[in-house]
Amino acid sequence: MRFSIGQIAAMVGPCEIRGEFSGDIVAIAPIDSAKEGDISFLANGKYCKFVEKSHASAIILPPTYLGHPPSGSVYLVVDDPSLAINALCEEIGMELGETANPSIDPTSSIAATASIHPTSSVGPFCAIGHGVTVGERCSIGSHCSIGRNCAIGNDVILHPHVTLYGHCTIGNGCIIHSGAVIGCDGYGYASGPEGHKKLAHVGRVRLGDCVEIGANCAIDRARFAETTIGDGSKLDNLIQIGHNVSVGRNCLLVAQCGIAGSTKVGDGVVIAGQAGLAGHIDIGSGTMVAAQCGVPSDLPAKSTVRGTPAMNIGEANRFYVLRKRMPELFRRVDRLEKRLGEESS
């Protein structure tokens, strides 16, 4: 990369420029290790102490930062430094990325009944089944497998090694990262004296528009009807979504969380890393579930919970404070019991 301060200011949007720097910006770097020619940013207040010491030639800062840069460097003050640096990263990504020429690699196997829009591309060694439809401007990476009768919308990106079982629907603008498996059978068995009989899963998976699925996620098809992920929801890596689960719009699901079958998650819910939700429960819209939380039952809208089993955040915080004092409390009780025993004897 090589950009002038004027070019960067145009990319990041409305900003106040403090100081002067006449050279080119050639790299993005963390604020505590940046050097001359680098640009950095401050989005987390805990790194504020590094701003004055930084050797970066340009730093993107929030309006709350009132300082001025040293000679020969620039501060760009914007409403949201994180979004501003992201705009710069997107511009760099466009420059570095190869121009995608719509094409189908000859090593891929495409069913005669599949329909792929001429503006879309299919990479090497893909398998695309009977009745599949692929919309406009899609990119299907190498070694992807798309089962029969899947429907893929416009502007979808499937990174290499994505697997879509049959009858899945992928909305417009979705991104699915490598190793994700969409539409595998749910975990359902009928146990009896002769063992565990597998239950047929004949439903499907439907992703709304602008959904992102992280690497190595697994989203099970419904036993009947649909497993659904709502518009705008974002799933991190290594997440398990059980059969017949419904995830609402604009939810954030963080790495290694899991949702058991037939649970309904409302809109705007945040589920932090390694949290687990039991099956057949309802999670109200706007709820926040803390990391490693275990949720066994329904939660009303706008709940904030922590712990296993899940507790209201205030109650949970008090519990964890008291838990640290338990060893000393037991010692005090032992001393009291000993003293009472000596007095009674």
Q: CA-CA distance, 171 to 305, in Å (whole number)?
A: 31
DSSP state of 199: P
As a whole number of Å, the CA-based R_g of the chain is 27
Residues forming beta bridges with residue 133, ordered by sequence position? 115, 151
Widest Cα–Cα separation across the chain: 95
CB 57 within 8 A of CB 116: no
Q: CA-CA distance, 37 to 23, in Å (whole number)?
A: 7
Q: CA-CA distance, 56 to 25, in Å (whole number)?
A: 9
Query: What residues contact residue 226 under an 8 Å CB cut-off, 6+ apart?
Result: 203, 204, 205, 206, 244
Alpha helices, H only, the chain:
5-12, 81-96, 313-344
CB 95 within 8 A of CB 1: yes
Q: CA-CA distance, 303 to 287, in Å (whole number)?
A: 5
Task: List the strands of the sheet with 27-28, edge to edge.
Answer: 16-19, 74-77, 58-61, 38-41, 27-28
Catalytic residues: 243
